[in-house]
Amino acid sequence: MTRLEALRALMQQVDDEPVVFTTGFTCRDAHAIRDRRQNFYMTGSMGLAAPIGVGLAHRTSRLVVVVDGDGAVLMNPGALLLVGSSGLRNLLHIVIDNGCYESTGGQRTDFDRFPLHQLAAAAGYRFCARPGTLDEYRQLLHDATRGRVQGPTLAHVCVTPQKGPPGPRVSVGLQQVAARFRDSMRLQPSDRAPTRGPSPITTERELI
Amino acid sequence: MRRWPAHGGGTNTTKARQLAQALLAAGFDFYSFVPDSVLQDVLAALDESCAPRGIPFVSAYREDSAVGMACGAYLGGARPVVLMQNSGLGYSLNALTSLSQPFGIPLTLVIGYRGYRRLDSEETLLMGTLTEKLLAGVGISARICREDGAGDAEWAVAQNDAGRSAALLVAPPDGEVT
């Protein structure tokens, strides 16, 4: 699986679910694959995609998807504690792990030395998955968007380095990105208060 | 040099309650925070008042994450407040300069003003002299809120409604700095 394949699978699956994309090539590729007002392109502030997702998930009953990177998790690992302790059932935290800081020249992250799913489970994530194939990843997205997975959910998606150039820079003005995103989040009749509950630290499960 | 009192020098409890109630009455409906001794009574009052109203009052562990969470809440339709000590402005600078400000996300920051007028412990003094300059440099209007908060929450709402972030600086009461 490559980052582009992982992003394409997500963009095919989502309907009106808001998605927060981490900085760098992830934003650019997502924008190139399928620009939509429910996309929040976090072009700066590396490490804050998950906190943004937590704040958002407090305000909606829709599934909130955060697309993070291994380098961004390393920059702000405290965000795992924030997500885990939130108990938010409508939060899907995808960590696309290419083992390097691809957007800044490919410096290694050595992320595989950290047991991410153990860290997340200890932090309070209810479900931690490490899909090994594109099909398994698609199945997880399918289940999550249909409310069949109770979050906070971690999807650790290992990808091979991307070949070829990234998508062009996000062409939408940042204020417009925020304004249209907020408009897309206005309450709909189907929106209810988000479901929360205490984090069951002990319910570590794995998809595979 | 005058020293910080042993109990931490929080604001007067009654006045802290008034500030907390003023924020809630002004319509702020999402609170992320990192604890601060100056704000301890404000935080306690908010903690008590938010829960029965179903208003999120969320510990963020670090100030940049608090700003990130508040931005997410705003994107979800909330009117958010971030509470922190001014030392946390350092951690927050990137979040303010590359997230809230360029995206036009208006936040209200309630900031405990350690080092105010250099009447504080040594490690707070430099940030004490930088706090208002940093906020001005980032483009966030600030005002010192020392008493009951009357008018302060309304001022912050007006700033936010105009699309701008606002900072309410809470200085420790003179009488408690010994």
The complex scores an ipTM of 0.92
Q: Please report which residue ranges of chain B form alpha helices under DSSP H.
A: 13-25, 40-53, 63-75, 88-95, 125-138, 152-161
pLDDT given at position A205: 41
CA-based nearest distance B163→chain A, Å: 11
Q: Is the pLDDT of residue B5 over 50?
A: no
Q: Are A92 and A144 in contact (CB under 8 A)?
A: yes
Domain contains B130:
yes
Mean pLDDT of all residues in chain A?
91
Q: Is the pLDDT of residue B149 over 70?
A: no
What's the CA gap between A153 and A84, in Å, rounded?
A: 9
Q: Who among B62, B76, B95 is closest to A56 (CB)?
A: B76
Contacts of B54 in chain A (CB under 8 A): 193
Nearest CA in chain A to B64: A48
Q: Are B175 and B12 in contact (CB under 8 A)?
A: no
Nearest CA in chain A to B81: A55
H/E run at residue B80? strand B80-85
The three-class DSSP label of residue A57 is helix
What's the CA gap between A8 and A106, in Å, rounded?
A: 22
The three-class DSSP label of residue A79 is helix
Nearest CA in chain A to B29: A59
Q: Are B86 and B62 in contact (CB under 8 A)?
A: no
What's the CA gap between B160 and A21, in Å, rounded?
A: 25
Q: Are A150 and A126 in contact (CB under 8 A)?
A: yes
For chain B, the domain total comes to 1
Q: Do B99 and A45 touch (CB under 8 A)?
A: yes
What is the fold, at CATH topology level, of the domain defined by A3-183? Rossmann fold (3.40.50)
Contacts of A174 in chain B (CB under 8 A): 102-104
Q: Are A111 and A77 in contact (CB under 8 A)?
A: no
Give the residues across from B167 on adjacent strands. Answer: B109, B142
Contacts of A114 (CB under 8 A, 6+ apart): none
Give the residues across from B112 on adjacent strands. Answer: B85, B170
What's the CA gap between A158 and B82, in Å, rounded?
A: 35
Q: What is the pLDDT of residues B89-100, one digit of tens each?
A: 999 999 999 999
CA-based nearest distance B13→chain A, Å: 28
Does the model's pTM come out above 0.90? yes
Put simply, whether B44 touches A (Cβ < 8 Å) is no
CA distances from B56 to A55, A88, A120, B63, B158 (A): 9, 12, 22, 17, 22
Q: Is the pLDDT of residue A99 over 60?
A: yes
What's the CA gap between B161 and B154, in Å, rounded?
A: 10
Q: Who among A47, A175, A185 is closest to B104 (CB)?
A: A175
pLDDT given at position B148: 61
Put simply, whether B30 touches A (Cβ < 8 Å) is yes
Which one-letter amino acid corresponds to residue A183? D
pLDDT given at position A155: 98
Domain of residue B115: give its range. 13-172
CA-based nearest distance B140→chain A, Å: 17
Put simply, whether B72 touches A (Cβ < 8 Å) is yes
Q: Are B18 and B153 in contact (CB under 8 A)?
A: no
Put simply, whether B119 touches A (Cβ < 8 Å) is no
Q: Do B95 and A82 touch (CB under 8 A)?
A: no
What's the CA gap between B120 and A180, in Å, rounded?
A: 45
Nearest CA in chain B to A22: B99
Chain B, 137-176: which have a CB under 8 Å from a chain A CB? none
Write the CATH number for B86: 3.40.50.970
Choice between A164 and A25, residue whose per-residue pLDDT is larger = A25
Q: Is the pLDDT of residue A135 over 50?
A: yes
Chain A, 165-194: which have a CB under 8 Å from a chain B CB? 174-175, 177-179, 181-182, 185-187, 193
pLDDT given at position A196: 55
Q: Which pairs count as long-range contacts for A174-179, CB under 8 Å and 24+ apart, including other chains?
A: A174/A41, A174/A43, A174/B102, A174/B103, A174/B104, A175/B102, A175/B103, A175/B104, A177/A39, A177/A40, A177/A41, A177/B103, A178/A40, A178/B75, A178/B103, A178/B104, A178/B105, A179/B104
Q: Taking residues A152-181, report their average pLDDT.
A: 94
Mean pLDDT of all residues in chain B?
90
Could you tell me the pLDDT band of residue B9, with boundaries at 50, 70 and 90?
Answer: low
Q: What is the pLDDT of residues A14-58, one digit of tens each?
A: 999 999 999 999 999 999 999 999 999 999 999 999 999 999 999
Put simply, whether B53 touches A (Cβ < 8 Å) is no
User: How many residue pairs bridge chain A and chain B with CB atoms within 8 Å of each other?
Assistant: 114
Contacts of A48 in chain B (CB under 8 A): 64-65, 67-68, 71, 95, 99
Domain contains B84:
yes
Contacts of B58 in chain A (CB under 8 A): 54-55, 58, 86
Neighbours of B24 (CB within 10 A): 19
Q: Do B72 and A53 touch (CB under 8 A)?
A: yes
pLDDT given at position A187: 64
Neighbours of A13 (CB within 10 A): 17
A127 closest CA partner among A136, A117, A135, A137: A117
Contacts of A44 in chain B (CB under 8 A): 94, 97-99, 102
Q: Is the pLDDT of residue A189 over 80?
A: no
A29 closest CA partner among A174, A167, A146: A167
